[in-house]
Every structure is written in C-alpha cells, then in structure tokens.
Amino acid sequence: MRKEEKVLLESRFGCDASGSALLAPEYNIAPSQDCPVVTVEGDRRVLALMRWGLVPAWSGDVKIGYRMINARAETVAEKQSFKTLLKKSRCLVPASGFYEWKKLAGGGKTPYFIRLRGGGPFAFAGLWTVWHAGSEDELRSFTIITTSANELMAPIHDRMPVILSEKDEARWLDPELGKAEDLLPLLVPYPPDAMECWEVSPYVNSYKNRGEECIRKVSPVP
C-alpha cells in the first residue's frame, strides 16, 4: 500500500501501520496474497501484512491455506481449526469492496463488485494465527468469516463476508471478550440498504489483472 493509503488506514482504524511494507494498490486480491490486517498488541492496534488463507499452527503443509480462506459464522465456535482463534486471535481485514460471481442458468458466471454505499474503507471480521516452518521462519495468515447473504447479495450468491459496523469493530478486537455468546451476535449480514453493487467485466476473473479496470461498471445493453 502507498504512504497515503497507510495514513488513511491509520486514521480509519486507529492503528499503527509503521511496521507494514509499502505495496501497490490492489483491485483483485487472490488467496495466498499478503493483505493488510489489524490486530491488537498490548494496548494498541497494529496493522501488518498477513497471508490470506489460514494455515493452522498444527498443519504440516502451508497449502492447507487455499482451503481455509473463509470460516462459516455458523460453525466458527465449534470447529477445531477456528474455535480457539475466535477466543483470542481475532482481526479486522480492511477493504474497500469485494467480488462475487453469479451463476447463470445456461452456465458460466457473471462477476459483481460489492461495496458500502458511496465507497470508503470498512472491515471484514477475521481470524489469524502463526505457523512455524522451522525454528525461526514463521508465517502469519488469516481467514475471513462469512455469513448468510442479505437481500442485496442473495440474487448473486447465498453467502457473503461478515462486514463489521464501526461500533462493532472495537468489540471484535477487544481482548477482554472471548466467549462465543459475546462474539457470535456480531457475525450477521450487513444491512443491504447500506451497500451497493454492480456488474463488472470478466477481466477480473484472472488474478493477474489487478488494475482499476477490475471494478469498472459494465454498461447495460440498450
């Protein structure tokens, strides 16, 4: 992220981004890429880069991360890979939008770009952990929690990432909260009237395409 984006994230999420690397803007992030993530260290919020796709500490192969890019809100407090992380390793995953693909009756899929109405940064609810490849090497990775689709998303897909309201971001990061009954009520669909979406080009289907063209609105056929 560029210097100005660091400043924006620091301001929006009240975090220290001084330890994170500078990266080019991304409009098409894929699993296994490094992404900015906000965690709590002591009494402060810190922004660092982590790999998207959770690699649990017990895993013997980093490739498991490709199968753990998401965690379902309905089972996150029960599954062995996630329940301990829910108690003590929660994070915010800053974003300005995301993509989903609508299945077509005749086959194929149409991509859509979804964001908060009017744009601006927000945060997905995430979990993170550290995986050690050896005595010194370590990999920090995360997963994004998903829930059932709201009315805006339902025609496109039956799931959506959990977007936290600003007031709930502090609760999600609060190290004093660790019980499922305090946290699961936050993992709900975002209000549909506060979101917007539009169809985008199949250009976004390739992870190699990462420019602003990815989010360009497809003009309706006359």
User: Mind listing the pLDDT tens digit for each residue in 196-210?
Assistant: 999 999 999 999 999
User: Mind listing the pLDDT tens digit for each residue in 89-144?
Assistant: 999 999 999 999 999 998 899 999 999 999 999 999 999 999 987 666 789 999 99
Note the pLDDT of residue 131: 93
Percent of the chain whose predicted confidence (pLDDT) is above 70: 93
Torsion angle, alpha carbons of 185, 40, 121, 74, to 10: -30
Percent of the chain whose predicted confidence (pLDDT) is above 90: 79
Mean pLDDT over 150-172 rounds to 97
What are the domain boundaries of the chain? 3-97+117-192
At 24, is the pLDDT very low, low, confident or very high (cuts 50, 70, 90)?
low
Q: Which CATH superfamily is domain 3-97+117-192 in?
A: SOS response associated peptidase-like (3.90.1680.10)
pTM here is 0.93
Torsion angle, alpha carbons of 210, 109, 141, 82, to 10: 160
How far apart, in Å, are the Cα atoms of 83 and each of 52, 126, 134, 140, 211? Answer: 18, 12, 25, 18, 36
Helices (H), 3-140: 3-13, 80-88
pLDDT at 6 over 80: no
> What values do phi and psi take at 144, rounded to 5?
-105, 135
Note the pLDDT of residue 26: 87
pLDDT at 53 over 80: yes
Note the pLDDT of residue 4: 66
Q: Is 180 helix (H, G, I), strand (E, B) or coil?
A: helix
Of 48 and 184, more confident: 184
Q: Cα separation of 203 and 192, whole Å?
A: 26
At 9, is the pLDDT very low, low, confident or very high (cuts 50, 70, 90)?
confident
Of 68 and 20, more confident: 68
Classify 133 in phi/psi space as left (phi over 0), alpha (psi -120 to 50) or beta: alpha
Q: Cα separation of 9 and 22, whole Å?
A: 13
Mean pLDDT over 1-21 rounds to 76
Q: Cα separation of 187 and 144, whole Å?
A: 11
Mean pLDDT over 63-92 rounds to 96
pLDDT at 50 over 80: yes
